[in-house]
Structure 1
Amino acid sequence: MTHIRTRFAPSPTGFMHVGGVRTALFAWLIAQQAAGTFILRIEDTDKVREVEGSIAQIEDSLHWLGIDWQEGIDKGGDYGPYLQSERLDIYKQWADKLVASGRAYADPYTRDELDAFRELAKAEKRPFLYRHHRPENPPEWDGSQPLRFRSDPKEYRWHDAVMGDLSTGPEAIDDFILVKSDGYPTYNFCHIIDDMLMGVTHVLRSQEFISSTPKFLNLYEALEIERPTLGTLPFVMAIDGKKKLGKRDGAKDVLEYGREGYLSEAMMNFLATLGWNDGTEQEVFTVQELIDKFSLDRVQKSPARFDEKRLLWLNGQHIRMLSLDELIERVTDFWPAAAAGASDEHKREVLALVQDRLKTLADLPILTSYFFEEPDPNWLMLADNKQLRKLEHEQIRSLLTATRDTLADTSVAFEPSTLQETLNQLLETTGEKPGILLSLIRLAVSWAPFSPALSDTLATLGRDITIARIDRALHALDD
């Protein structure tokens, strides 16, 4: 069997967002599934658009997601260099071969002359094709002029691993630039040379390149090389579905999600299912399940919408899938400042209480800060609760006083099951609904909009702190 070799070849023109990372993920999954090789190559031939620090950001993004490469930049390999700007001599050799075979020529035209050709085509209401204006006697290519590919217009039929069987006529084939006047090759040329020399078996591209595929096929033939398996990935659209998600439309740096408390495996799950499913109703996948089940023939042909609410839901699911030990390692940078002096045992106890309520790791402070510091009473929070805001001052005092007296009884063990029984008895003796009494107690001891089960919260706080907080709440009620 052929050894599978896939690659991700981004340009260092800024941060990585979900569209680019999804392409990397799909290529990585193909290689992982086949015990193949995943290559990271950097296409840095467009020096005008290059952004300093982008290469490190690309590497950091892939590392965070858990996408590792076996060959390429910073790893080495038998087919380097893996930075295209260090491969200029290689492209020059192949350009010279095309010139020698008559399949490439120096472009002698100025920008004004090319514009005139375009205006003429426009006036004659026909598409502009450069091949209609090939120079009869092009100058010898000395590197100071652009080098163009001499195309051979023809019909093409090919199979795309995602889009299926495709075809096009000769009108889609034109002469295109292989090497610019600054000596740097174009993407259309150098990626084909690199893929060939690096033995890439599967090439995944975004949908924006599908119109260029016939040109690539023409170049494969001119170079007399076997084309790899081609797969075209549909766009990732903004949530409204009206346009492609892009940096200008608010697409975030992938690493920003990590800083916001998203798990890398949740992001991987989300990206993989942006336009792919395994044919079942399953939505939550482990990394290994994605590796085992992924296939290009299950990638949908239509664009997928970026739904951050779904990402948030998936993140909560993956947080709950972690063992407590794994979660403790992940939340190191997300604890509230007040937890700095707390024991590891206490933090572990608190984390166990809130794990099921975390949507992101960044939720940790709002869910746990009152376990580590005394919260300030704020009776204005009653206005946010439809039931509590209807209570009169004396009703609040009566309910909290009854609660305080009951919980102060040392015969009441401060452990979850006993406390739950005690709270149930309080509901009976006061005649109040759970949504009122339990919400009121929860507010008085935490002053937080969310909290775990009340019996667990009280048990973790302990009797002394619970009573002190209810007393303080009663005192603040009169201020």
Structure 2
Amino acid sequence: MTEVRTRIEPAPSGSIHVGNARTALFNWLFARHHGGVFVLRIADTDAKRATDENYRAVLEDFRWLGLDWDEGPEAGGAHGPYRQSERFDLYRTHAEKLVEGGFAYYDYASPEDVDAERKRAQAEGRRPDHRAIADARKEDGHAPSIRFIVPADQTITFHDEVLGEMSTDLGRTPDFVIVRADGSPTYMLAVTVDDLAMGITHVIRGNDLVASTARQLLIREALGVTDAPMLAHLPLLVSPDGKPLSKRWGDVAVGAYRDQGFLPEAMINYLALLGWSFDDRTNIFSVEDLVERFTLDRVGKNPAAFDVDKLEWLNGHYIRSKTPAELAELLVQYCVTEGIPADSPEGRRTLEAVTPLLVERMKRLTEAPPMVRFLFADVTPDDKAAKALGGQEEYLAAVADRLEALEKWTAAAIEEALRRLAAERELKPKRAFQPIRAAVTGTLVSPPLFESLEILGRPKTLERIRTRVG
């Protein structure tokens, strides 16, 4: 088998869309499964969106996901440069070659001319005849675009690894622009030239691009290339109700899920399940499992629903799989973001002590800072906690006396003392322990009470309880 070479070419418009991330993952898995090469190239022909900040955001997303690239920005390679903005001369050369070969022509028509021809063609039930108006404004002095000639009497047929045999009748397909009047290439030309120049053997991409395949195959043929890469068009991602996955639905950028406390291994595991399955019962896959088991014949045709609840379930699984030290290190950045000074050696030790108490309560890492803030700073009871503290001064004074009298400050000793006091006063656990939790943590939602008091320490625990006594 020829060396497998796959690619992904995100536009640097900010953090990548989860759909692009899924496509990148499938390309990466296919290349890794076959011992091939995964190429990252940047589609930055749109100068308005292609800022350095957006470019760095794309690379950061790939690194966070663990999708390392063999060729591309910063990695280099024999087929660079890997930013389309640095390849304009190559695109222009190929476009002019197409013109010289009679496969394309210069189009001097104005946008108004093009729109008028489109409307005439629509009214007459034919495809637009751009060549008929191409020279209408040649003497006006403005730069022309370049259009590729589409043979109206041809049908393009190709095999798709997911969709099967596909055919496109070109009878209604108009000539299309491959170089804009400003000299920038269109997607059709850039992607085709780059795939050829970089020796891409397998094009794995979203189903929304299947309509462009026939035109790209035409360009390849016109450039003298008779063979085509293997094609696989992946099912689109949709919301749980079947609607397009857009910003109107919710967060669609990888960076948003990173900021919300999702782990990269959970995101990779979940993205892999969107359109692919190994069997009808396995949901948990390590990256190594995916590389070993991934094949295109198990990719489905139907749209795949992006369900945040399922992603959260997987995230909880991976959170629970972390050691206390690993989880503590992951939580540092989220705590610091919320103003909690957890980035010191002492702060890390505190987090490591409390993380075993958090794992069963967390679906996202962002849920931890509110639950651990009381360990790092004095607290002010929130509204619910303040309500729970109402009229509890005498009881809390008794609690403080019992805790102060303990010989050993351990969770077991604390629990025994507080349960004995509750029994003496005939208090059910909720009524007995809620005021203590409210006084010490400032909230009614926190890690298990007795273990929390042990970690906080006797002096701070007593100080906070006595403060509420007045």
Q: Same fold (TM over 0.5)?
A: yes
1:312 aligns with 2:299: no
1:346 to 340, 350, 370: 350
What letter is aligned with 1:83?
Answer: R
Please give the secondary structure, in 2, of the residue aligned with 1:333: helix
Q: Against the structure 1 CA distance between its residues 415 and 136, is the aligned structure 2 distance closer, same or farther, given a 3 Å change threshold?
A: closer
> Which blocks of at least 5 consecutive residues in structure 1 are unaligned?
none
1:279 aligns with 2:279: yes
Structure 1 residue aligned with 2:340: 337
Structure 1 residue aligned with 2:40: 40
Residue 108 of structure 1 deviates from its aligned partner by 4.5
Structure 2 residue aligned with 1:410: 406
Structure 1 residue aligned with 2:227: 226
Query: Superposition pairs for residues 214-253 of structure 1, below 5 Å?
Result: 214-223=214-223, 224-238=225-239, 240-246=241-247, 251=251, 253=253
Do 2:332 and 2:343's aligned partners in 1 also have CA atoms closer than 8 Å? no
Do 1:172 and 1:215's aligned partners in 2 also have CA atoms closer than 8 Å? no
What letter is aligned with 1:31?
Answer: A
Do 1:143 and 1:183's aligned partners in 2 also have CA atoms closer than 8 Å? no
Provide Cα deviations, 1:371-426, integer angstroms capped at 9, x if missing partner: 2233235675265xxxx69xx83xx4565455444434435x43234444445544
1:368 aligns with 2:381: no
Do 1:196 and 1:225's aligned partners in 2 also have CA atoms closer than 8 Å? no
Please give the secondary structure, in 2, of the residue aligned with 1:105: strand
Q: 2: CA distance between counterparts of 1:259 and 1:280?
A: 31
Provide Cα deviations, 1:329-366, integer angstroms capped at 9, x if missing partner: 32232335354677243342133433443333333321
Q: What's the C-alpha RMSD, in Å, of the aligned pairs?
A: 3.3
Residue 118 of structure 1 deviates from its aligned partner by 1.6
Please give the secondary structure, in 2, of the residue aligned with 1:182: coil
Structure 1 residue aligned with 2:440: 445
Structure 2 residue aligned with 1:462: 457
What letter is aligned with 1:337?
Answer: I
Structure 2 residue aligned with 1:326: 326
Residue 436 of structure 1 deviates from its aligned partner by 2.8
1:62 aligns with 2:62: yes
What letter is aligned with 1:235?
Answer: L
Count of residue pairs brought into register by the alignment? 462
Choose 443-452 or 462-471, whichever is displaced more. 462-471
What letter is aligned with 1:150?
Answer: I
Please give the secondary structure, in 1, of the residue aligned with 2:311: helix
Q: Against the structure 1 CA distance between its residues 137 and 226, is the aligned structure 2 distance closer, same or farther, given a 3 Å change threshold?
A: farther
Do 2:109 and 2:136's aligned partners in 1 also have CA atoms closer than 8 Å? no
Residue 72 of structure 1 deviates from its aligned partner by 1.4
Structure 2 residue aligned with 1:267: 267
Residue 459 of structure 1 deviates from its aligned partner by 2.1
Provide Cα deviations, 1:76-100, integer angstroms capped at 9, x if missing partner: 2111121223223322333343334
Q: 1: CA distance between counterparts of 2:35 and 2:137?
A: 49
Please give the secondary structure, in 2, of the residue aligned with 1:440: helix
Structure 2 residue aligned with 1:179: 179
What letter is aligned with 1:175?
Answer: D
Please give the secondary structure, in 1, of the residue aligned with 2:334: coil
TM-score by length of 1: 0.84
Do 2:236 and 2:303's aligned partners in 1 also have CA atoms closer than 8 Å? yes
Q: 2: CA distance between counterparts of 1:371 and 1:263?
A: 24
Structure 1 residue aligned with 2:146: 147
Do 1:206 and 1:234's aligned partners in 2 also have CA atoms closer than 8 Å? yes
Please give the secondary structure, in 1, of the residue aligned with 2:39: strand
Residue 7 of structure 1 deviates from its aligned partner by 0.8
Provide Cα deviations, 1:209-233, integer angstroms capped at 9, x if missing partner: 2222222233333332321121223
Structure 2 residue aligned with 1:2: 2
> Which blocks of at least 5 consecutive residues in structure 2 are unaligned?
none
1:432 aligns with 2:393: no
What letter is aligned with 1:446?
Answer: T
Choose 453-462 or 346-355, whichever is displaced more. 346-355
Q: Against the structure 1 CA distance between its residues 172 and 287, is the aligned structure 2 distance closer, same or farther, given a 3 Å change threshold?
A: farther
Q: Against the structure 1 CA distance between its residues 374 and 180, is the aligned structure 2 distance closer, same or farther, given a 3 Å change threshold?
A: closer
Residue 175 of structure 1 deviates from its aligned partner by 2.1
Q: Percent identity, aligned pairs only?
A: 36
Please give the secondary structure, in 2, of the residue aligned with 1:331: helix
Do 1:370 and 1:448's aligned partners in 2 also have CA atoms closer than 8 Å? no
Residue 194 of structure 1 deviates from its aligned partner by 1.0
Structure 2 residue aligned with 1:25: 25
What letter is aligned with 1:470?
Answer: I
What letter is aligned with 2:467?
Answer: R
Residue 310 of structure 1 deviates from its aligned partner by 3.4
Provide Cα deviations, 1:300-342, integer angstroms capped at 9, x if missing partner: 3233333334333333322222222222332232335354677
Q: 1: CA distance between counterparts of 2:56 and 2:384?
A: 48
Structure 2 residue aligned with 1:207: 207
Do 2:246 and 2:252's aligned partners in 1 also have CA atoms closer than 8 Å? no
Residue 185 of structure 1 deviates from its aligned partner by 2.1
Please give the secondary structure, in 1, of the residue aligned with 2:16: coil
Structure 2 residue aligned with 1:92: 92
Residue 5 of structure 1 deviates from its aligned partner by 0.9
1:53 aligns with 2:53: yes
Please give the secondary structure, in 1, of the residue aligned with 2:11: coil
Q: Against the structure 1 CA distance between its residues 92 and 374, is the aligned structure 2 distance closer, same or farther, given a 3 Å change threshold?
A: closer
Residue 49 of structure 1 deviates from its aligned partner by 4.9
Residue 239 of structure 1 deviates from its aligned partner by 5.2
Q: Against the structure 1 CA distance between its residues 75 and 130, is the aligned structure 2 distance closer, same or farther, given a 3 Å change threshold?
A: farther
Q: 2: CA distance between counterparts of 1:48 and 1:365?
A: 38
Choose 204-213 or 347-356, whichever is displaced more. 347-356
Residue 188 of structure 1 deviates from its aligned partner by 0.6
Q: 2: CA distance between counterparts of 1:422 and 1:159?
A: 74
